Structure 1
């Protein structure tokens, strides 16, 4: 069986080029027998390109490259022609076609797709964190969170946690109830990343009544009574004062507005 050697050249990590090469090689050699695939990532200067072509010439290798910068692509092609080395440009034709169609130049910035992937996984991680540490389920999350939300029931802690998670912030939230002491971890949290959510008793009364009706329950339960709500809010302010955290009134605010206020303060404190 004839030997096959491929050099994968990239100004990023070279993963895209290697996967394409493997897909093609597998059509001829499913077990990759007598096949060598060598990756040359993060190519930054012309000397690297010239040396790779020289090595490919000596070792009778094919060069497959994914270079986003036009000058590097043209230089590599020129060297390959001079040394009579076989090559395949994977990105160049597609980029040129898109430039023509869109009537704009490519950014020519290496590794953008991997930055997007990293950003995506950070978002997923934050969303999973928000679910795991929602509603005070595990107080250990309070010390791991980027943002900690506290408040009485129905102050939008959960939807706000999810919204912030999609902005890549790890959020834990804790409901405050007069009969239950807050977890000890809450008082160890940096006050600058802790936010208390408060709402007017009148608005909360309406929200809780609607919630009870939606659950098929009577709207005159203690949960929705003004006296109970006032007791909970008084307890809320008592705990907030102990922590020394920022209080945000969410009475007439959309989740997005509250989230933007929190993000602004978090970024200012960094």
Structure 2
């Protein structure tokens, strides 16, 4: 093979090509004295695309590294590479064959599955980072990006509920209701269909607060856990929810996080407001029949190159070819 100043490695994948790129670059660390540049062809899923790529690679006998889940496409590329004397490496094929033998059944051979998994993973990470940044009213900017805005007085499970939902890919902002303080105007600028309230039984809340004071080593008789003060805070929150009847209110008394989360997700999904859903033109306003009554309190609350055909016309990548 003739040597030239720079070597080219062509990466071919039926997905994003990230697997081929990462593995090849990891191996190239051992050949750091060589100047190499990469060409990546993504979403390669037809014989026409492979033929065009091989014609491109044959010019300088560039190395082709490929990750294709389809056994037919792998075989077609390997045969073309052999015919045109193109050096090539099948990164995925041997592993799939060995795994099929080990598990006793054939692989799914569906392209792009890893990319889908990675996308969901990074969406969850993004949701968790957003939720942490918007915990307890810490950051009121960007509420328009929230999938859910939770309001409630102290110890109504706002933070644990928010974090639990974020692990399911929800961007959640939670804001405390504090007696004597106005609700931030940013709450009213957000999509009102995504705002929910939390409430709790006064006796249950007083018990939770006393337990917290005990863990912190504070006086259990402080105003924070005083039954009268607790009642006043709950009444204050209920008055706010009554004035904003578009906000559904969930009672968390005696409920596990999973139960309350399921109720909220069910409601938002019925409104087509869950992450990944597209609202069907519903205007902000009373939820009406969308609200499951049993769940809530009543109303207050680089592409492959083109290949020329025999007629001289260009054929687009991805167009169907005759069976070979």
> TM-score, normalising length from structure 1?
0.92
Superposed, which structure 2 residues align to 1:233-252 within 5 Å? Answer: 233-244=234-245, 245-252=247-254
Corresponding residue for residue 220 of structure 2: 219
| Shift, 1:86, TM fit | 2.3
Q: 1:107 to 1:243 in 2, by over 3 A?
A: farther
Q: Secondary structure at the match of 1:59?
A: coil
Q: 1:224 to 1:109 in 2, by over 3 A?
A: same
CA contact (8 A) 1:141 1:172 kept: no
Is the counterpart of residue 27 in structure 1 residue 30 in structure 2?
yes
Taking only aligned residues, the RMSD between alpha carbons, in angstroms, comes to 1.8
Q: Secondary structure at the match of 2:250?
A: strand
Q: 1:181 to 1:41 in 2, by over 3 A?
A: same
Render the CA deviation track for 1:67-88: whole Å, top value 9, x for unaligned. Answer: 0111111111122223232221
Q: Secondary structure at the match of 1:121?
A: helix
Q: Secondary structure at the match of 2:168?
A: coil
Corresponding residue for residue 9 of structure 1: 12
CA contact (8 A) 1:187 1:243 kept: no
Superposed, which structure 2 residues align to 1:1-270 within 5 Å? Answer: 2-3=3-4, 4-28=7-31, 30-33=32-35, 35-244=36-245, 245-270=247-272
CA separation in 1, counterparts of 2:117 and 2:144?
28
Render the CA deviation track for 1:186-218: whole Å, top value 9, x for unaligned. Answer: 223333211111110111111111111111111
Q: 1:27 to 1:141 in 2, by over 3 A?
A: closer
Q: Secondary structure at the match of 1:158?
A: helix
CA separation in 1, counterparts of 2:195 and 2:33?
56
CA separation in 1, counterparts of 2:152 and 2:28?
59
CA separation in 2, counterparts of 1:15 and 1:178?
53
1 or 2 for the larger relative contact order (CA 8 Å, sep ≥6)?
2
CA separation in 1, counterparts of 2:44 and 2:211?
62
CA contact (8 A) 1:26 1:32 kept: no
CA contact (8 A) 2:61 2:85 kept: no
Q: 1:62 to 1:160 in 2, by over 3 A?
A: same
The range that moved more, 140-149 or 126-135, is 140-149
| Shift, 1:239, TM fit | 0.9
Bigger helix share:
1
CA contact (8 A) 2:61 2:86 kept: yes
TM superposition outliers: structure 1 runs of 4+ over 6 Å: none
Structure 1 runs not aligned, ≥5 long: none
CA separation in 1, counterparts of 2:76 and 2:155?
63
> TM-score, normalising length from structure 2?
0.77
CA contact (8 A) 1:145 1:172 kept: yes
